[in-house]
Amino acid sequence: MGTENSRKKICMIVQERTVKGGIAAVIENYYGSRLEKDFDITYVESYCDGSKWKKLFKALSAYKEFRHVLRTNRPDAVHVHSSFGPSFFRKMPIIIMAHNKKIPIINHIHGSALDELYTNAGSFKKYLVRKIYGYCTRVVVLSEEWKEKLSVIVPSDRITVVSNYCKLYPEMADDKSLSQRFEKRQILYLGRFDNLKGVVDIPAIADIVKKKFSDVRFVLGGTGETEPVISEIERLGLQDTVILPGWITGDEKEKLLRESAIFLLPSHMEAMPMSILEAMGYALPIVSTEVGGIPQVVAKDVNGKLYAPQNASGMAQGIMDYLSDYEAYAAAARKSLEIADEKYSFDAHIDKLEKIYDEVIA
């Protein structure tokens, strides 16, 4: 690191700041952070929400902008935020351009659907994935489990684990806040609506919990494939119990995190969900599934309850156990905040990124 004039240049390939999802949430806090003070960061946006044509235009504009950066403000390293599926192919031209200029590439992978991209793919697609990942100086993954999975493509000594992070709100763990949230009996989900997130399982969970706690309320904040969830809500007659307010941001999101009792994420597949870490920063007990990086974050029966995917009765029982026992609830809530503080602070996340920058540039 060093003086203003000697800061190393990083070109970071990111999503538009208005994109709905976990990757954008990770990147959002980089803006104005210590990372920008220690390194000279140039952001190139390669993805946006919207139609496929809008996304294509955004990607093509990013390639043009990136070529301009290479010509006029050559970076010392390129930090690409990517996922599996279409994201891999969108980032491929940028990785090739940086490789051709002999610029170190950090590929920061946030996805969880490796089977479609590589494991179950044909021989040519596997070759392409190995070639593109082979161009990367360093591959960043979110958990040890994903390091092991990616090591079939990339040598493990080029893979570094950098967990996602959360911001901490210690006041949410005091007795007054905890008792108010416990009595409110509001269960919160935040994220996209798609098959991998398991959101369609929530109405069945809510139906079981409501039989014991008639005043329970489930708030599902997000957008995407809402129709299957709405159909289940209507089939079970839960219109007053399960609320879909749409995508939640800013003050409205903070209000929900501050007033909810439990955070629910019934994912079928995950890397390391920002939503769980964010909830832990607000001292929320977690009810979730034993997939991906979730067991790395949620200590089973310590700060949360973990079940097999699609085990609606199990997750309902986990919620009811917490809502039936304030002492157990408060202990789990405080443990969430404690684990978040010890392992997933924003400063620790930035320290790891800066170490990677220094290593690949050196």
pLDDT digits (tens, 9 = 90+) for 40-69: 999 999 999 999 999 999 999 999 999 999
**Number of C-alpha atoms within 13 angstroms, CB side, residue 172?**
29
* Residues 111/82, Cβ–Cβ less than 8 Å: yes
Q: Can you give the three-state secondary structure of the chain, one letter per residue? A: CCCHHHCCEEEEEEECCCCCCHHHHHHHCCCCCHHHHHCEEEEEEEECCCCHHHHHHHHHHHHHHHHHHHHHCCCCEEEEEECCCHHHHHHHHHHHHHHHCCCCEEEEECCCCHHHHHHCCCHHHHHHHHHHHHCCCEEEECCHHHHHHHCCCCCHHHEEECCCCECCCHHHHCHHHHHHHHHHCEEEEECCECHHHCHHHHHHHHHHHHHHCCCCEEEEECCECCHHHHHHHHHHCCCCCEEEEECCCHHHHHHHHHHCCEEEECCCCCCCCHHHHHHHHCCCCEEEECCCCHHHHCCECCCEEEECCCCHHHHHHHHHHHHHCHHHHHHHHHHHHHHHHHHCEHHHHHHHHHHHHHHHHC
Q: What is the pTM of this model?
A: 0.80
pLDDT at 3: 46
Two structure tokens written together for 359: 């290593």
Q: What is the pLDDT of residues 233-286, one digit of tens each?
A: 999 999 999 999 999 888 999 999 999 999 999 999 887 888 999 999 999 999
Give the pLDDT band (50/70/90) at residue 115: confident
pLDDT at 241: 98
What pLDDT score was predicted for residue 31?
Answer: 96
pLDDT at position 144 is 85
96-109, pLDDT tens digit by residue? 999 999 999 999 99
Mean pLDDT on 177-203: 95
- Look at residue 4 and tell me whether its pLDDT is greater than 70: no
Q: Rounded mean pLDDT of 216-230?
A: 95
What is the predicted pLDDT for the residue at 23? 85
* pLDDT over 80 at 207, yes or no: yes
Q: Does position 1 have pLDDT exceeding 60, yes or no?
A: no
All structural domains of the chain, each given as residue ranges with its CATH number in brackets, are: 4-165+345-361 (3.40.50.2000), 170-343 (3.40.50.2000)
Q: How confident is the model at residue 2 (pLDDT cuts 50, 70, 90)?
A: very low
What average pLDDT does the chain have?
93
pLDDT of 20 reads: 81
Residue 183 above 70 pLDDT? yes
Q: What confidence tier does 5 reach under pLDDT thresholds 50, 70, 90?
A: low
